[in-house]
Structure 1
Amino acid sequence: MVVKSPKLIINKMVLIGRSKSYHVNFENGINIIHGDSDTGKSSILNLIDYLLGSKKVYMYDELEQHGKYALLEVSLSNKVYTIKRDIFNPKADIEVFSSNIENIENVFPLEYSPNYEKEGAAGYFSDFLLSSLNIPIIKVKKSPSKENSPMVRLSFRDIFKYCYFDQDDVGSRDLLDRKNYSLMAKNKETFKFLHNVLDTQITELQNMIGEKVREKKEIENKYGAISSFLLETKLSTEGSLQAEKEELNEKLIFLEKEKNKITDKMKSNNAEMEELRSIVLEIEQKINILFSKKSHKEAQLEQNLRLKKEYYNDINKLQTVLQVKDSISMLNYKVVECPLCDSRMETSEIKKHFIEHNEDVLKKEINSIKNRSKDLNKIVDELRDELFIIEDEIISNRTQLDKAKSILDTKAETFISPYISQRDMVISELSSYKEQLDKVKYFLKVRSQLSELKQKQEVIANQISELDSRLESLKEQTPSVEETLSDLGTYLKEFLEYIPIKNAYGISFSEKTFLPIVRDREYIDLTSGGLRTLVSVGYITSILKNSLINETNFPSLIMLDTIGKYLGKTKKYSEDADGAKESKIEGLDDPKKYIRIYDYIQKMSNDFLEKGIEHQIILVDNDFPDDLEKDFAQYVVKRFSTEDKEGYEIGFINNAN
């Protein structure tokens, strides 16, 4: 069973830090991240989302203090790429390498703009993702109901809304921007596009085939021009260059060993060397002082980040006082009835029990704290810049230290004449071979670009063939909105009956909003937060399932954060009294229902993997029952605990204080 829905598979994510790197590896099928609250679980999904083009990283102290940039290795329709992005500068271009993470030094990166405000050297990042996934790049009406509505781009970010539900989305009444008419209208067009039911779907597909044919022709011309140039310059083939590289590496290893043997025989104890040795010691002391300064600045940065958070809390408290003051105004004399005992009371008497604050004083204090917060932001930026400067100084001094040690060794040679000429000859050969190796590596990069063009040519040819097949399929049997919604409703019903929920009737997808309906009630009207959680999980799971059965534009990946929300598993999320009462009536505090979410997802995923249909499901949760811990251990890619437990990490940033 081969389904031609796009395939986006995440292989690994790496956060490069100041002192170490933080890795998360992923597999096909189910991937689970679980552990205690505030250990960085959600930040892993947030970083993946950012590396796939979202506007910002949600910073927290450890990430801000230790992180520098992030890497994401992905497979886009079976072609591996590595995406690199600065976590502190979301407007900077995103670098894309046509290789896995380990080999990014061997290829030249392409630079893409993260948004449509300006074009990057290689174009727009969203267009790169869509093109690599063989998803048509189209425009849709901003307001579909209006004839003269302006057209807006349908970006990868619009599609990814249906792939990633963060901890605020799961169980939320405002799922998929339900309360924002403008965004909701575009989301509906995106939904139709995902399922090939847009009115213009066939036309858009024909346009994309034309674009792909033109792109293939351009690449063929470019390949021919570069190939002719390399032929004229008599540049060796990739195979010859690779063999030369291996030969040079072997020679370098041999010569390094020879140099070390000679060095071991040499002595450097002459009195004339003492001055040089003192210089080496002085530089080493400088480096130690710089490391001490670095630790001090890092401590200051951490302290100021904490103070910044305190200012934020103080402002919130003062603003709350102002709001309460406005709502309990007792300037005028009144006689009111007590809401508890119906006795009559004078507002002047009530007023005695409340402390009144001068509104101007409160506002001035808020402004004062905001000003201090702005100053603090400057200090944080300055400290971060100072840390970068100190790190550069450390690198510079280490370079000086290496040079001084090299001079020391060279001077020592003058007192050991039997070995000098022999060692010089080895060093000269080493230098010559290193230069040759650098040239070979550069030429290999050039050759790899040519190979990349050839591969791209083949990929586009396959994409054109796939698009032609999809076009023929659409022409023969264009799916209707009604048929698609019916299928999705069936999958949602299967999920909710499997859990099971009480009274599993009237389950479908709304023809008006494309959101779920349960018991003939719109999703937004479901009062139980626990039920909304189950329905939202079933909703995104049904969309994934449909993409693995039918031809769609859905990337075969879903990410869900905190799927135990409102199910009595996660203390952080509690409902209001009415919602909690409804959830209790629904029986959603039964731990078996929570476990059956995982059972359903496991069964669905395994069924498709057995048929050779690739996909990926990444789940994040807090409290993990012992039964799941044991039965789903094979799917766990990261687990965290604030306590010292074997097999657990203290957090994603696992060297933070």
Structure 2
Amino acid sequence: MVLKSPKLIINKLVLVGREKSYTVNFDVGINIIHGDSDTGKSSILNLIDYLLGSKKIYMYDEIEQHGKYAMLEVSLNDKVYTIKRNIFDPKENIDVFSSNIENMNRVFPLEYSPDYDKEGPAGYFSDFLLSSLNIPIIKVKQSPSKDNSPMVRLSFRDIFKYCYFDQDDVGSREILDRKNPSLVVKNKETFKFIHNVLDTQITELQNEIGEKNREKKELINKYTVISSFLLETKLSTEESLRDKRESLEEKIKYLENEKNNLTERMKSDNQEMEELREVVLELEEKINNRLSQKSHKETQLEQNIRLKKEYQNDINKLQTSLKVKNSLALQHSQKVECPLCNSILETVEIKKHFVEHNEDVLKKEINSIRNRSKDLSNLIEQLRDEILIIENRLSDEREKLSKAKSTLDISSEKYISPYISQRDMIVSELYTFKEQIDKIEYFLKIRAQLSEIKQKEELLKKQIGELQTKLENLKKQTPSIEETLYEIGTYLKEFLEYIPIKKAFGISLSDKTHLPIVRDRNYTELTSGGLRTLVSLGYITSLLKNSLFRETNYPSLIMIDTVGKYLGKTKKNADEVDESKENKQEGLDDPKKYLRIYKYLDEFSSNFIKKGVAHQIILVDNDFPDDLEIDYDQYVVKRFSVEEKEGYEIGFINNATANNI
């Protein structure tokens, strides 16, 4: 069975952090993420949505603390791309690499604007996704009932809201912007476009074919110009460049081994030198210690000499005091000669300014200071002798050090110099080869860009052919909105009968809102949260199922957050769940209904996989019954627990100290 609708498959999500990267790998078919609350399950879907162009991201504490940027590897109609986006600035351009994550550094990225406010260097991100999925880029009337209504772009985001129900959408009365009248109108036009029943679809399809033909012509011209330039510059072919790179990589590997072997030989051959180095280091350490001792002794010597001079000054002052006292001791007033300045002084006047001191006390103090000065002189001589001894030893050790260094230099020249010379040559060659590889990598990127242009031209040819086939089919048998609503309503009825719900009658899609009707009541009028949950799950699953059977513009992906919202899951904790009276009347506290959801999705997905129809279903839920854990373990891509548990991670950010996601 050939897939008629666009195919969007998520291969890998990577949140690159400051300490490590956080990765989730996905498969075709069902993918289940489950675990305790506050472990980051919803953030995984939120990041995927953001990397597919959402204007906002819920910046949980752990992501803000540990994250840097995010990448999403996707397959768009079987062609692999890597989308890279700044998680801290939603307005920054989005990088798209035409390769998987492992090889993204081998190609030049294209920069797309995240919204239609300002065009990026490569255009708009929404247009890139639509074009890659071969979905026509169109405008729809803001008010379809008015002939003069302004036209607004229909973006990938308008389509994707029918593919992703977050935990606020599942079971919500306000599903698909029911509170916003202008968006409700646009959603109806989007629904028609998804299912090829828009009134202007044929005209828009013709315009899209013309636009792709113009783009193909531009690519052919661009390819011709670039290939002519490469031919004139005689740039090697891609095969030749790859051969050169492979040859250089082998040489680098060989030289790296030689360098390592050389290092090992240097280590084994210089044992004698190591002993000499130890002798040199020991002598240098001794000399440093001697110098430190010498410096300390010289400081002591300087301090003691200064102190001895102070003692001598004190003795001189005391002796002067004795002379003055003897002169002043005369009984009669007379003129005397000053012992200091030789001037003539009146003794009577002088006595007024001096305090009388005992002559014996002064003499004793002089003797005491002389004794201390004498001891100090002995200490000074001792310090001089010690400094002389240190200097002699320093001289001997310096001479030994000089001889040891000389011997070491000779040994180095004998043992090490040849190795150093060889090593320098190897390092130089390695640097040259690595430079050449960098240039080759750059040229390969240019070649890859040229190859990408050619591949894009071929892709456009294929897309134009598919669009022309679609146009012919639309002209022959354009499906009516009534037929489309009937088919999807039939799939919804099958789902609700399979669960089953009580009173499964009056099930269809509204021709006014295109939302479900159950028991002849509009979705928004259903009072049971559990019933609305089942209906919303059945609705999004039916949209996917219809796209896998028919030619639509609906990507082959659905993402559902909190599958078991409002539903009883296990008999063990059913009484703990706060359910409304209506839920109990509906019998939705029966855990079997919850199990039947997974059984339906498993059978539904397996049947299409067997037919070769690729699609993807990503489910997030909280506690997971043991029966499901066993039966659907093959589909589980991540499981989280706040407690350490074998086979579980503590959260998406699994190195955080606390999980508040």
Q: How far is 1:120 from its partner?
A: 0.6
Alignment map for 1:119-198 (pairs within 5 Å): 119-198=119-198
Structure 1 residues 8-39: Cα deviation after superposition (integer angstroms, max 9, x where no partner): 00000000001000000000000000000000
Is 1:653 the equivalent of 2:653? yes
Structure 1 residues 541-574: Cα deviation after superposition (integer angstroms, max 9, x where no partner): 0000000000000011000000100013499999
| Aligned mates of 1:477, 1:143 — CA distance in 2 | 26
Is 1:481 the equivalent of 2:481? yes
Letter in 1 for 2:61: D
Does the 8 A contact of 2:558 with 2:617 survive in 1? yes
Structure 1 residues 310-358: Cα deviation after superposition (integer angstroms, max 9, x where no partner): xxxxxxxxxxxxxxxxxxxxxxxxxxxxxxxxxxxxxxxxxxxxxxxxx
Corresponding residue SS for 2:580: helix
Corresponding residue SS for 2:102: helix
- What's 1:442 paired with? 442
- What's 2:506 paired with? 506
Does the 8 A contact of 1:63 with 1:653 survive in 2? yes
- What's 1:26 paired with? 26
Does the 8 A contact of 2:3 with 2:614 survive in 1? no
| Aligned mates of 1:414, 1:223 — CA distance in 2 | 61
Is 1:264 the equivalent of 2:264? yes
Change (3 A) 1:642 1:604: same
Does the 8 A contact of 1:566 with 1:573 survive in 2? no
- What's 1:105 paired with? 105
- What's 1:423 paired with? 423
Corresponding residue SS for 1:447: helix
TM-score, normalised relative to structure 2: 0.76
- What's 2:343 paired with? none
Q: How far is 1:188 from its partner?
A: 0.4
Does the 8 A contact of 1:498 with 1:596 survive in 2? yes
Letter in 2 for 1:637: V
| Aligned mates of 1:32, 1:428 — CA distance in 2 | 53
Letter in 2 for 1:49: D
Q: How far is 1:436 from its partner?
A: 1.0
Change (3 A) 1:615 1:52: same
Letter in 1 for 2:647: G
| Aligned mates of 2:654, 2:430 — CA distance in 1 | 40
- What's 2:81 paired with? 81
Does the 8 A contact of 1:29 with 1:605 survive in 2? yes
- What's 1:378 paired with? none
Alignment map for 1:250-261 (pairs within 5 Å): 250-261=250-261
Q: How far is 1:251 from its partner?
A: 0.4
| Aligned mates of 1:57, 1:253 — CA distance in 2 | 44
- What's 2:242 paired with? 242
| Aligned mates of 1:20, 1:209 — CA distance in 2 | 45
Does the 8 A contact of 1:566 with 1:574 survive in 2? no
Corresponding residue SS for 1:416: helix
Does the 8 A contact of 1:113 with 1:125 survive in 2? yes
Letter in 2 for 1:90: P
Q: How far is 1:265 from its partner?
A: 2.6
Q: How far is 1:421 from its partner?
A: 2.0
Alignment map for 1:361-372 (pairs within 5 Å): none
- What's 2:558 paired with? 558
| Aligned mates of 1:573, 1:543 — CA distance in 2 | 31
Q: Identify unmatched segments of 5+ residues in structure 1.
A: 275-411
| Aligned mates of 2:15, 2:420 — CA distance in 1 | 46
Q: How far is 1:435 from its partner?
A: 1.2
- What's 1:223 paired with? 223
- What's 2:614 paired with? 614
Letter in 1 for 2:263: T
The CA RMSD over aligned residues, in Å, is 2.1
Is 1:538 the equivalent of 2:538? yes
Structure 1 residues 255-294: Cα deviation after superposition (integer angstroms, max 9, x where no partner): 01101111223358558998xxxxxxxxxxxxxxxxxxxx
Does the 8 A contact of 2:12 with 2:26 survive in 1? yes
- What's 1:547 paired with? 547
Does the 8 A contact of 1:169 with 1:175 survive in 2? yes
Letter in 2 for 1:59: M
Q: Percent identity?
A: 75
Structure 1 residues 42-90: Cα deviation after superposition (integer angstroms, max 9, x where no partner): 0000000000000111011111110110000000010000000011111
- Structure with greater Cα Rg: 2
TM-score, normalised relative to structure 1: 0.77
| Aligned mates of 1:572, 1:98 — CA distance in 2 | 48
Structure 1 residues 472-504: Cα deviation after superposition (integer angstroms, max 9, x where no partner): 111110000000000010000000000000000
Letter in 1 for 2:37: S
Change (3 A) 1:563 1:414: farther
Corresponding residue SS for 1:177: coil
Alignment map for 1:270-289 (pairs within 5 Å): 270=277
Letter in 1 for 2:149: S
Does the 8 A contact of 1:142 with 1:152 survive in 2? yes
Change (3 A) 1:617 1:573: farther
Letter in 2 for 1:107: V
Q: How far is 1:148 from its partner?
A: 2.0
- What's 2:492 paired with? 492
Change (3 A) 1:114 1:99: same
Structure 1 residues 237-263: Cα deviation after superposition (integer angstroms, max 9, x where no partner): 111111111110010010011011112
- What's 2:599 paired with? 599
Structure 1 residues 401-454: Cα deviation after superposition (integer angstroms, max 9, x where no partner): xxxxxxxxxxx8997112122112211211111111111111111101111111
Alignment map for 1:15-54 (pairs within 5 Å): 15-54=15-54
Does the 8 A contact of 2:202 with 2:474 survive in 1? yes
Q: Identify unmatched segments of 5+ residues in structure 2.
A: 268-272, 282-411
Change (3 A) 1:449 1:527: same
Structure 1 residues 107-143: Cα deviation after superposition (integer angstroms, max 9, x where no partner): 1000000011111110100000000000010111111
Does the 8 A contact of 2:569 with 2:590 survive in 1? no
Does the 8 A contact of 2:31 with 2:619 survive in 1? yes
| Aligned mates of 2:454, 2:601 — CA distance in 1 | 39
Corresponding residue SS for 2:490: helix
Structure 1 residues 509-547: Cα deviation after superposition (integer angstroms, max 9, x where no partner): 000000000000000000000000000000000000000
Q: How far is 1:3 from its partner?
A: 2.9
Does the 8 A contact of 2:574 with 2:589 survive in 1? no
| Aligned mates of 1:60, 1:3 — CA distance in 2 | 38
Does the 8 A contact of 1:10 with 1:74 survive in 2? yes
| Aligned mates of 1:468, 1:151 — CA distance in 2 | 24
| Aligned mates of 1:207, 1:505 — CA distance in 2 | 43
Change (3 A) 1:76 1:572: farther
Change (3 A) 1:12 1:576: closer
Change (3 A) 1:162 1:272: farther
| Aligned mates of 1:192, 1:117 — CA distance in 2 | 26
Letter in 2 for 1:538: G
Does the 8 A contact of 2:568 with 2:577 survive in 1? no
Structure 1 residues 205-253: Cα deviation after superposition (integer angstroms, max 9, x where no partner): 1000001111111111111111111111111111111111111001001
Q: How far is 1:4 from its partner?
A: 1.7
Alignment map for 1:342-361 (pairs within 5 Å): none
Corresponding residue SS for 1:434: helix
| Aligned mates of 2:80, 2:414 — CA distance in 1 | 53
Is 1:632 the equivalent of 2:632? yes
Structure 1 residues 152-211: Cα deviation after superposition (integer angstroms, max 9, x where no partner): 110000000000000000000001011211110000000000000000000011000001
Alignment map for 1:284-295 (pairs within 5 Å): none
Letter in 1 for 2:523: Y
Letter in 2 for 1:429: E
Q: How far is 1:147 from its partner?
A: 2.2
Does the 8 A contact of 1:33 with 1:619 survive in 2? yes
Alignment map for 1:371-390 (pairs within 5 Å): none
